[in-house]
Amino acid sequence: MRLCLLLLLALCGAGITAAARSLSLRGSWRIRSGNGSLELPGEVPGCVHSALFQRNLIQDPYYRFNDLNYRWISLDDWTYSKEFKIPFDISKWQKVNLIFEGVDTVAKVLLNNVSIGKTNNMFKRYSFDVTGVVKTINFIELRFQSPVLYAAQQSRAHTRYEVPPNCPPSVQKGECHVNFIRKEQCSFSWDWGPAFPTQGIWKDVRIEAYNICHLNYFTFSPLYDNRAQEWNLEIESSFDVVSSKPVSAQVIVEIPKLQTQQTYNIELQPGKRIVELFVKINKNITVETWWPHGHGNQTGYNMTILFKLDKDLKFKKSAKTSRAQQRASLVCHPAQARVRRALCGVPALVFPILLPVTALSEQTERTVELIEEPIEGSPGLSFYFKINGFPIFLKGSNWIPADSFQDRVNSELLQLLLQSVVDANMNTLRVWGGGIYEQDEFYELCDELGIMVWQDFMFACALYPTDRDFMDSVREEVAYQVRRLKSHPCIVTWSGNNENEAALMMNWYHIDFSHMGTYIKDYVKLYVKNIRKVVLAEDKTRPFITSSPTNGAESIAEGWLSANPYNTKFGDIHFYDYISDCWDWNVFPKARFASEYGYQSWPSFSTLEKVSTKEDWSYKSRFSLHRQHHENGNDQMLLQAGLHFKLPQSTDPLRAFKDTIYLTQVMQAQCVKTETEFYRRSRSEIVNGEGHTMGALYWQLNDIWQAPSWASLEYGGKWKMLHYFARHFFAPLLPVGFENQSVFFIYGVSDLRSDCNVTLTVRVHTWHSLEPLCSRATKHFVMKAGEAVLLYQERVPELLRRCGNCTRQSCVVSFYLSTDSKLLSSANYHFLSSLKEAVGLQKAHITAIISQQEDTFVFDLETSAVAPFVWLDVGNVPGRFSDNGFLMTEKTRTIFFYPWKPTSKSELEQSFRVTSLTDIY
């Protein structure tokens, strides 16, 4: 359930005007280099790189080798400054604060040449008391220190022992000691991204003035009462009371559709005060719940909270929308401003929660549960999530920052990327711990779209210092982020870090064994005694795991660090293997939950073309090597592709480059398809103690720039072949085919909430004919909800004999589920041999007739031969197809194109290109 909050504040005071005013300092600032030689205007929110680019003082930072050419920007100490006027009489306000929602990262803050504070954490909200400093005309400065030099300085100051790693691998072309600064960790480089250690004011900044009291933040959590069989809301409000006397108040909480209304009397003492309220939800009303995508609706309810402070003078503030947008600080507006409140720019307030559909029954499931319990036939424990008491297979991917420069990540881009998540039948994203805690709109959209979020805290692939200042900053960071985010139903778990348990226990950094105890102690201190402690105090509604991967309860039993964090019988795993044959499912771990796995590919030529020149357009160019930040990544892609496909043979360098790009996407899509289908069909079985897999989150969803990576969405949102494949292998009803010892099996996998009657049809085609060689349909059977079961098995030699005149090299198998001639699943396929050994595969001549139906375009395709991996491309025209990268075994097929921006039939006809596998030979 999502609660849409209408917050009303009524304040009064004896002999003093009770009100509040806010002045935004967004907009144009001045930016100055360290030695003053360069000065320019720059927008806030924003960063130095963006300001320089917008003024044409630098090229696109992503162009060619500019990540190296512009390293000087990150090494300089920049200053942001602004002169501003307070449009109200400042002397009439008891308290004035300067609020920064986000500063990136290390800066000294001065107002009217008075130092008022410092910042050193990108992920914290800073509030500075400027009551005695602010004037009618003001001058503000933020004097930044280079994050690269600051990190090095902090590392040098940590003299007791080394905190590895010092620097990233040289192939990443990055900066060192990122673990010593509370900043986006991948901004110093990663194996898929560049080093752009930004500086700037990256979120809102404002002046807030108020009398009597001020609401600093407001959060709430749902709690289930086992004994009473009812749900309650725990509401927490933080006030700054500047009145010299206690302030009495009446609080009225109302949720009309749930027939819930309660009144409370409170007294606020001077100073900073926390008010906790306990609201009982009417247990006689059926609550409609918030469900993940594919499992139900994302229902919302309006909630009203009215604070009446004293009785004789009344002031009111209100806001309401359909989105879960929350401001970290709210202010009280005077009565005379009521008629203007619609113009005040106050953000919307929606506080969503989850309530189980079984809340009124005898069941006692929590809203979100991580189930770790014994499994029959296995020595380990389960690891899966229940939402509203219902076990759900988490299927999706891992989210990284959508740009190195967050001011370029706008609403349109977020909407495009997250809509692409649900369009590919995903229900989960893991917000990876080396990036940022995403902006509010990200979580609002996830709430609306039903995307569950596994939320990492921002620690990744490193050990971290645990000195007092660092820990104090981390605790404040975690408390702020949990309060900011916990009202979003999309977030289903908190995770302490990315891969740091594995890094320590598998000794990635070659620590001397005699010193290991120090690092283990630091790990427990950071993630358990501090982060976990803060999370559990702030949020009782979600599970917390210390790391990913982790053995979960087993890691806890071993003192929070497991000797083998990759144990497939506990917790989650990350798995990468670029050398073994990805078509062989025996390579993959039959784990409880796969939260990272994947293969690289190159983005499309149209994406690369924007940041490169003609001399860069070859697979072994300096540019291609520069963009590859994963050791031997380009060679590994060709090695994996060469196991089953002929490598491109064109003598034209540009054609060979485009063909190689295409083949890497074919390889990636087929590899991730095979691995994901293995995890999905493993959900209901235990084999040799392994199985009951209940999550598959491939690495990674999106790109931060134009480069080879594991992503299925290119920089800007264009779908790679993998994303089209994901739409199939994450489908709610899926037939999965595989071989074991020359026996062909087909499993049926269902994520549906109810059983269904289906028929399985199995067809065999020869590569040289568009007519099926043979076809067999099963009788109707019941496909059980939420299970993976064996539907069909046949020895491959018998299958080939039955179809006649067929060999492994000359035939391909396809299969689908239907009911009463209605297709219930898309057709899946199984290759009986490597395609480089295929016999009879002909060069396909594929044509397309394009027509328009309202805002959608229709591509009527016709082929002269069976065509594997048919790829439709319209270059830079933004949009996606209904399907792509498919096996075309019929003469005609209709595909739809959904444009993201207005286009025309003629533009599509000029841009359209079609490629299938034999075109690259």
Catalytic residues, which ones? Answer: 499, 596
* Nearby residues of 429 by Cβ (< 8 Å), 6 or more positions away: 396, 397, 398, 399, 421, 446, 451, 452, 453, 454, 697, 701
* Largest CA-CA distance found in the chain, in angstroms, rounded: 99
From residue 119, alpha-carbon distances to 100, 199, 241 in Å are 10, 12, 25
Query: What is the phi/psi pair of residue 838, to 5°?
Result: -60, 135
Structure tokens at 867: 């065509």
Do residues 8 and 251 touch, judged by C-beta distance below 8 A?
A: no
Nearest CA-CA partner of 222 in 264, 260, 195: 260
State the Cα–Cα distance between residues 498 and 507, nearest whole angstrom.
Answer: 15
Helices and strands per DSSP (H, E), number in the chain: 18, 49
State the Cα–Cα distance between residues 461 and 163, nearest whole angstrom.
Answer: 12
List residues bridging with 398 in a β-sheet: 430
Alpha-helical (H) ranges within 228-281 are: none
**DSSP character at residue 438:** P
List residues bridging with 178 in a β-sheet: none
Tell me how far apart the terminal alpha carbons of the chain are, to the nearest angstrom: 55
Helix (H) or strand (E) holding 6: strand 2-10
State the Cα–Cα distance between residues 222 and 355, nearest whole angstrom.
Answer: 7
Helix (H) or strand (E) holding 905: helix 905-911
Tell me whether residue 847 is exposed, middle or buried, using C-beta atoms within 10 angstroms of its C-beta: 0 to 12, 13 to 18, 19 or more. exposed
State the Cα–Cα distance between residues 761 and 368, nearest whole angstrom.
Answer: 38
State the Cα–Cα distance between residues 46 and 202, nearest whole angstrom.
Answer: 5
Which residue matches tokens 């990636």? Answer: 668
Which residue matches tokens 């000359």? Answer: 810
List residues bridging with 913 in a β-sheet: 873
Cβ-based neighbour number of residue 311 at 10 Å: 10
Do residues 53 and 207 touch, judged by C-beta distance below 8 A?
A: no
Nearest CA-CA partner of 460 in 495, 434, 430, 431: 434
* Nearby residues of 56 by Cβ (< 8 Å), 6 or more positions away: none
Do residues 268 and 247 touch, judged by C-beta distance below 8 A?
A: yes
Query: Judging by DSSP bridges, how do beta strands 20-24 and 205-210 pair with one another?
Result: antiparallel
**How many residues are there in the chain?**
921
Nearest CA-CA partner of 730 in 473, 477, 396, 456: 396
Query: What is the phi/psi pair of residue 72, to 5°?
Result: -60, -30
* Nearby residues of 505 by Cβ (< 8 Å), 6 or more positions away: 561, 562, 563, 564, 565
Query: What is the phi/psi pair of residue 879, to 5°?
Result: 155, -175
State the Cα–Cα distance between residues 327 and 347, nearest whole angstrom.
Answer: 7
Angle at 203 between CA 200 and CA 205, to 5 degrees: 95
* Nearby residues of 375 by Cβ (< 8 Å), 6 or more positions away: 381, 382, 686, 692
Cβ-based neighbour number of residue 820 at 10 Å: 9
3-state secondary structure of 630: coil
3-state secondary structure of 178: helix
**DSSP character at residue 513:** G
